[in-house]
Amino acid sequence: MSSLAKQGSKRYGRELSRYPHYIRKMFDQMQERAQIPAFRSEYRQVDENERYNNPRQWLVQPGDTVMITKGKFAGTLTKVVALQKETNRVFLEQSETKRVVVPKQFWQPGQTSHIIDYPLPQHPKDLKVVGTIVNDDGTEKKIAADKLVFKGEYWDEDYQKMMPYRRIKYNENIIIPWPRPDPVEDCIYSTDKNLVNERTFFPNSIIYSDSPIDLINSMRHPLMKRPYKWDKQYLTKSDIKRLVPPQPLLSDNKKAGILERQQIKENLPSKPLPETINLVGDKVSQFLNNITDPHLAKFINKNSPDYKDPKDLFIEKQKKLYDEKIKENQQLNKIKSFVEAKYKLKRTKNLHI
């Protein structure tokens, strides 16, 4: 076995993930010390299982317009240039930089000084994605999404994979589309897309196939004792799940059930029928009339709609009497004033009644 295979292999190679975290830290520090300061990373590498690998985790993609919310450049709008997968961070067009000294052998083309400003990557949680919405009068407005949610998926032709819809939380009708990625040029090892999709295998017989008869012997030694993975006689749960096509969320029976229940609901009367009212009323009155307990009868009489309080009745009676008296007095006063007016001219002085 070559030393390359040793390094790369999971079995024989030295795998950092096998060590405990404090020893891993020591190795990281050793590695860092070995590098020149210019190439030392500001942020430590993230473990492989914690690295982001899908757009839902990254929230942004190269080409997105974002607003920085932290640090010296808080509030500025920039664009995402690249993703740094080792640290779960992104490089921006305009961001905080670090001054580093670069030895001459590592100079980039066009570099004139030993000291360069090296951009520091930013974590996506310190960024807000900026989208544009069109108003009713045709003007465009930029909005920064405070929080994002991902609902639904679609096939993206440029990314060549299923991409989630990126929506603004609490305003989920607003979708911020993913930026268009740079087209990838084919390298010398690339195969043409049509050639990959072309189908050349057509199984049409159970007696013959296009492969040689003794192929299985070259794939696997015939004397091998370990059970062959393809010889298994049973299907596991996951096998069945893979082989059976997905069921629709609502089956036909369920849909029919929902429709039936809806129709029953519509046909139900909204108000009780007069027959029902009479029936119920008769029964209730019969029950109430047969009550023998005087206290309960009193209580029920009290709650009937045409019950009147005796106190109120008394007050009403008093009020009536009072009104009658007032009317009488008014009549008397009228008469009195009439009489006074009649006899005023005759008895001008010292009139005493």
What is the torsion angle, in degrees rounded to the nearest 10, for the CA atoms of residue 149, residue 155, residue 156 and residue 157? Answer: 180
Q: Are 77 and 130 in contact (CB under 8 A)?
A: yes
Stretch that binds other proteins, among 33-41, 56-64, 79-87, 189-197 (CB under 8 A): 189-197
**Using CA atoms, how far apart are residues 145 and 291, in angstroms rounded to an integer?**
70
Using alpha carbons, list the distances in angstroms from residue 237 to 232, 242, 247: 14, 9, 16
- 159: which residues sit within 8 A by CB, 6+ positions away? 178, 181
Q: Is residue 205 within the footprint of other proteins (CB under 8 A)?
A: yes
CB 176 within 8 A of CB 59: no
CB-nearer residue toward other proteins: 139 or 205: 205
Terminal-to-terminal C-alpha distance of the chain: 146
Q: Is 171 an interacting residue with respect to other proteins (CB under 8 A)?
A: no
Answer for which of 112, 139, 173, 200 binds other proteins (CB under 8 A) is 200
Evaluate whether 67 touches 77 at the Cβ level (below 8 Å).
yes
**Considering the complex, what minimum distance in angstroms separates the CB of residue 153 from other proteins?**
19
Beta-carbon contacts of residue 210 (< 8 Å; ≥ 6 apart): 201
Question: What residues does 133 pair with on adjacent strands?
Answer: 141
Closer to other proteins by CB, 85 or 175: give it: 85
Q: Which residue stretch of 52-60, 210-218, 236-244, 328-336 sits at the interface with other proteins (rule: CB under 8 A)?
A: 210-218
What is d(CA 90, CA 58) in angstroms, rounded to the nearest whole number? 9
Residue (187 or 244) nearer to other proteins, CB: 187
- The verdict on 231 binding other proteins (CB under 8 A) reads yes
Q: How far is the CB of 204 from other proteins (least distance, A)?
A: 6
- If one asks whether residue 197 binds other proteins (CB under 8 A), the answer comes out as yes
**Footprint (CB under 8 A) of other proteins, residues 317-346:** none
Determine if 216 is a binding residue for other proteins (CB under 8 A).
yes
What is the phi/psi pair of residue 106, to 5°?
Answer: -105, 15
Residue 238 Cβ vs other proteins, minimum distance, rounded to whole Å: 16
Residue 190 interacting with other proteins (CB under 8 A): yes
Which value, in Å, is the radius of gyration of the alpha carbons in the chain? 46
Min CB(106)–other proteins separation in Å: 12
Asked whether position 198 contacts other proteins by CB under 8 A, the answer is yes
| Identified binder of other proteins from the candidate list 170, 230, 307, 338, rule CB under 8 A | 230
* Least distance CB 41 / other proteins (angstroms): 16
Estimate to the nearest angstrom the gap between the alpha carbon of 122 and the chain centroid: 25
Q: Which of 157, 185, 192, 312 binds other proteins (CB under 8 A)?
A: 185
Please tell me the distance from the alpha carbon of residue 60 to that of residue 176, in angstroms, as a whole number: 11
Q: Write down the least CB distance from residue 270 to other proteins, Å.
A: 57
186 binds other proteins (CB under 8 A): yes
> Residues 96, 71: contact at Cβ < 8 Å?
yes
C-beta separation of 98 from 106 below 8 A: no
**7 or 132: CB nearest other proteins:** 7
Residue 208 as a binder of other proteins (CB under 8 A): the answer is yes
Our finding on whether 22 is near other proteins (CB under 8 A) is: no
H helix and E strand count, the chain: 10, 10
Residue from 31, 57, 209, 263 touching other proteins (CB under 8 A): that is 209
Question: What residue ranges bind other proteins (CB under 8 A)?
Answer: 2-4, 7-8, 184-191, 196-212, 215-216, 219-220, 229-231
